[in-house]
Amino acid sequence: MSGKAGKSSVVPTKTSSCVPTKTSSCDPDGGSHLCGEAAAAERQADGGGHVIAQVDDALRTLIRGDALNGSEVDVVFDAPTKDWAARRNAPTVNLYLYDIREDVRRRERGLSEQRGEDGHVRTRRPAPRHYKLSYLVTAWTQRPEDEHRLLDQLLRCFLKYEALPDELVVGQLAETGLVVPLTVGLPPPEDRAFADVWSALGGELKPSLDIVVIAPVDTGIVYQAGPPASQGVHLDMSDLLDGGSDAGRHQHAAPPASARGNGKRQAR
């Protein structure tokens, strides 16, 4: 961002007490949950976490590295209720995940095949589903001008990306090998208004950005494939009239000539 944004009065006067340790409490409301960075590190240690948590971590990384430019502003994922806002005492960017729904336009039919080293099909899986994770992004400071400045920095940050950067797509979020699209500020669906979200939260309407991340999610359904055919089709057949028979053969063996002659006489 520009140098002017770095001189904004958004920077708090005291150093944040958020220390990324497992015993740290960095919730200014007195909660006991881990700091964002500490929680992300713990999820990586546990095997990468889950899809929604990885999207949270990716958005937090984008905001801290690109929009805030290292300034001491908290990044949280809390519900911005009236009580929460009253207890907030430091500049904060809040990303509230308020809606999760499938993007049915992206649903694909059919199965994908997974092959072994020998080239044979081992398993078949349904195509991933795509889910829209909608975040209500707000800025909280003492002055509206500072909040507007923060929102401007956030908007410029997200406009740079049509999808989450590859280096931030990790763990289960990366299992499908698909891109993770990102949109900012699109009109909401007809069945959902932001005023309704604020009313449900019991808070006052506030300027916000609507960030939507479309995350591919593996269904976890796996169909085991049968062993590949190695010898073709074998049939066991017998001729009740002429006495001919085929056991485990690929082609028919003609009955003896005597049997063929008897069959002709019987037919006559």
More confident: 126 or 20: 126
CA distance 17 to 40: 17
Q: Do residues 31 and 25 lie in contact, with contact meaning Cβ atoms separated by under 8 Å?
A: yes
Residue pLDDT, tens place only, 81-131: 999 999 988 999 999 999 999 999 999 888 888 888 888 888 988 899 999
- Per-residue confidence (pLDDT) for residue 6, from 0 to 100: 41
Q: What is the dihedral of CA 261, 262, 264, 265, to 10 degrees?
A: 120
- Per-residue confidence (pLDDT) for residue 115, from 0 to 100: 87
Q: Is the predicted pLDDT of residue 138 greater than 60, yes or no?
A: yes
Q: Which pair of structure tokens corresponds to residue 164?
A: 């989450």
Which phi and psi angles does 143 have, rounded to 5°? -125, 135
- Per-residue confidence (pLDDT) for residue 135, from 0 to 100: 96
CA distance 236 to 255: 15
Average pLDDT, the chain: 78
Q: What is the pTM of this model?
A: 0.67
3-state secondary structure of 111: strand
**Residues linked to residue 46 through DSSP beta bridges, in sequence order:** none
CA pseudo-torsion sign 259, 261, 262, 263: positive
Q: Is the predicted pLDDT of residue 202 greater than 70, yes or no?
A: yes
User: Domain coordinates of the chain in residue numbers?
Assistant: 3-224, 235-261
- Per-residue confidence (pLDDT) for residue 100, from 0 to 100: 93
